[in-house]
Structure 1
Amino acid sequence: MSGEIEVKYRVLDPAELARVLARRGIELSPPTRQDDQAYAPSTWRAGEPRTGVTFARLRTQDGRCTFTTKTPVDNALACREFETVVNDRDQMHHAILAMGYRPTVRVAKQRRTARVDDYVLCLDEVDGAGTFLEVEAVVAGTDGMGRTQAQLARWVASLGAPLERTSATYDQLVQEPATAGQQAR
């Protein structure tokens, strides 16, 4: 079991953020397109607490599909996570439905990444939501997630970039209910 801890920020001035990262010697990868379909248990409704609830996601990137589950531990951005590659997105979509999940939102974005020490930086241009910076850490367990989030937030603050912190996930920010025609398989 692993935990993924992140902090997320709306980028208020992308050009200034690029200058700040360049001054720090942080070089982002070329952009890649991610197409995510999020799923929630059929009994869970938007606005209800997320802590302790397992959510699922199918992501296609560079022709490869991954299935991920995330269970928020301390908050929506500090999760127990499991992930694996799947060969057939359509079959996995139907398996997720059979397990009692329903599609919630589709999130598409351009992502550029960089590694800084033990952190991964993700600069995301999210369709319909804007530009965001995520800083992530992956840990072996789920103890101390709040402390790790505080460390990440201090590191981001040290950048001095024009950013606005958010505790929302991308599916909350996009807020577009999936319909039968939008469901990614």
Structure 2
Amino acid sequence: MREVEVKYRVQDREALLVALTARGIEPGPPVVQDDQAYAPQGWSYGDSRIGVPFVRLRTVDGRHTFTLKRPADNALSCDEYETAVADREQMHTAILAMGFRATVRVAKVRRTARLPGGELCVDDVAGLGTFLELERIVGDGVPGEAVQAELAAFVASLGIGVSRTEESYDSLVRAALASA
């Protein structure tokens, strides 16, 4: 399975919520997500991500999830594998033993809404601000860039102030920490 997404920095969170409500889209209640990102030993920020596996440990309400993403078309069009994890610390140790290194921690409050064929997320990311993310799961052979164009057209139709980013949250957090 491949997850294809688009991500936008939102200039005015309230304007976004008003635009969504006008479309009948009501994001659900806020959920705190605590993500630890990992990269393979030997990979550095600035290197290509295409074909490189990255992993994440996420905790939400005491439940832990392990995710592996391998960018295919670009950093936001990835093969994705995900499973529940009983013990976050043991999984962290296993990830390190597999040759990954911890990079950055990403803390965010996420509100989600289902869309036909996908999901919309309003994320308040600690240290970065508010983001709008649209995701769609597609099968093999579906060009990620075509799906991203469809998702981008929906965002443009909202008529709000946003700026698109091609970066993952871990890259954005790392850049913010480096410039601080």
- The TM-score normalised by the length of structure 1 is 0.93
CA contact (8 A) 1:73 1:142 kept: no
Structure 2: gaps (5+ residues): none
The verdict on how the C-alpha distance between 1:32 and 1:42 changes in structure 2, with shifts beyond 3 A counting, is: same
CA contact (8 A) 2:10 2:131 kept: yes
CA contact (8 A) 2:57 2:92 kept: yes
Identity %, equivalent residues: 57
CA contact (8 A) 2:128 2:176 kept: no
SS of match in other structure, 2:72: strand
Alignment partner, residue 133 of structure 1: 132
Counterparts of 1:1-185 in structure 2 under 5 Å? Answer: 2-175=1-174
- Distance in 2, Cα, partners of 1:177 & 1:44: 19
CA contact (8 A) 2:71 2:77 kept: yes
- Distance in 2, Cα, partners of 1:104 & 1:177: 13
Q: How many residues align?
A: 177
- Distance in 2, Cα, partners of 1:176 & 1:75: 19
The verdict on how the C-alpha distance between 1:7 and 1:78 changes in structure 2, with shifts beyond 3 A counting, is: same
- Distance in 2, Cα, partners of 1:16 & 1:29: 17
- The TM-score normalised by the length of structure 2 is 0.95
Question: What does the per-residue CA deviation read over 1:83-120, in whole Å, with 9 as the maximum and x for residues that have no partner?
Answer: 00010000000000000000000000000000111120
Alignment partner, residue 183 of structure 1: none
SS of match in other structure, 1:136: strand
The verdict on how the C-alpha distance between 1:38 and 1:153 changes in structure 2, with shifts beyond 3 A counting, is: same
- Distance in 2, Cα, partners of 1:65 & 1:169: 20
